[in-house]
Structure 1
Amino acid sequence: MRNKVNEIKVSYCEKLGVIDSQPMTDSEQVAKLLYDNWDGNTIGLQETFKVLLLNNANKVKGTYQASTGGIVGTVVDIRLLFAVVLKTASTNIILAHNHPTGTLKPSQADRQITKKIQKAAELFDIRVLDHLIIVPHGKYFSFSDSGLL
């Protein structure tokens, strides 16, 4: 009897022209892009954690919604997050999540997940450029601008 194993396929299909897009150069530009693409029906209701996937020129390859949680938090599985980062051959990433309450201050859990992801990224030579907290009505907090990254 022959032994059988599952075949694993990894693919990334670029549908939008990344080469023609503008590079992300500052937190305000990134926050606007994220806010404009956030689900307006849930940004004030439940926490969501996303990753902005970038190439080496900081041009956006896409976004990945890593988790959706409840009113006061969400759990991020960094193994799944990095499966997507590696699958898309992204060299830079920007983390983002929303605070439905409108609080712009990062929690201890926000700081911990940022450090954990940053540490894992170093193993793959991937740079975590920022972590933004987006609140309803478009205001944001940048870990990078605040010296926390």
Structure 2
Amino acid sequence: MKNKLKNIPFNVAEIELVYKNQVDPKMRPIVTSSKNAHAVFRAVWDDNRIDLVEEFKIILLAQNNTVIGVSNIATGSTTQCLADPKIVFGICLKSNAAGICLAHNHPSGNTAASPSDISLTHKFCEGARIFGIKVWDHIIITRHGYSSMNDDALMPNFD
């Protein structure tokens, strides 16, 4: 957008946020447990990559825990994946999400949360709290199963 003021020698970009959810609310799944969240994640996870590289995804939830959408956040290496909080929270804010579920896969097949998984989850929970967003769970997915940090009592309690 060109600056309409005379004698100012610069241009600036106009930033516009647009959000349109084309999915009928009656057709959206509801996430009420780790089992529901795992089913949603597995429906969108690429089976050809689950044993190859780590990927990080989020489920975005409305106030009533209906799924607004799923977003692919990052793809990493065989042993790690760096999820940028700016990307995660930008997507949360743009979609007006009230809550999220985090997930990443372990190509090794081990569903146990590592110390770095737990630390990252706690950081996301702290950041989400600032925005009034609830992090419901962090699911670790493999081809043969999953674990839930919420079910395993590894989620921080900020309430």
The TM tier, using the shorter chain, reads: over 0.9
- Given the superposition, is the C-alpha separation of residues 35 and 22 from structure 1 closer, same or farther in structure 2, using an over 3 Å criterion? closer
Q: What is the aligned partner in structure 1 of residue 54 from structure 2?
A: 47
The CA deviation string for residues 85-143 of structure 1, in whole angstroms up to 9 with x for no partner, is 00000001000000011101111111111011100000011000000000013x10000
Contact 1:19 1:59 (C-alpha < 8 Å) held by counterparts: no
Distance (Å, rounded) in 2 between the aligned partners of 1:103 and 1:23: 27
Within the candidate set 27, 32, 37, 1:30 is matched to 37
Distance (Å, rounded) in 1 between the aligned partners of 2:90 and 2:29: 25
With 116-125 and 18-27 compared, the bigger mean Cα shift is at: 18-27
- The Cα of 1:19 is off from its aligned counterpart by 4.4
Unaligned 5+ runs, structure 1: none
The question of 1:142 aligning with 2:145 is answered no
Contact 2:102 2:139 (C-alpha < 8 Å) held by counterparts: yes
Q: What is the aligned partner in structure 2 of residue 73 from structure 1?
A: 80
- Please give the TM-score of this superposition, normalised by the length of structure 2: 0.89
Distance (Å, rounded) in 2 between the aligned partners of 1:134 and 1:18: 27
Distance (Å, rounded) in 2 between the aligned partners of 1:87 and 1:24: 20
Aligned length: 148
2:153 maps to a residue whose letter is G
Contact 1:24 1:60 (C-alpha < 8 Å) held by counterparts: yes
The question of 1:64 aligning with 2:46 is answered no
- Please give the TM-score of this superposition, normalised by the length of structure 1: 0.95
Unaligned 5+ runs, structure 2: 1-6
Moved >6 Å (runs of 4+):
none
Contact 1:66 1:80 (C-alpha < 8 Å) held by counterparts: yes
Root-mean-square deviation over aligned CA pairs: 1.1
Contact 2:104 2:140 (C-alpha < 8 Å) held by counterparts: yes
**Identity of matched residues, %:** 34
Q: What is the aligned partner in structure 1 of residue 4 from structure 2?
A: none
Contact 2:28 2:68 (C-alpha < 8 Å) held by counterparts: no
Query: For the pair shown, which has the larger CA radius of gyration, 1 or 2?
Result: 2
2:93 maps to a residue whose letter is L
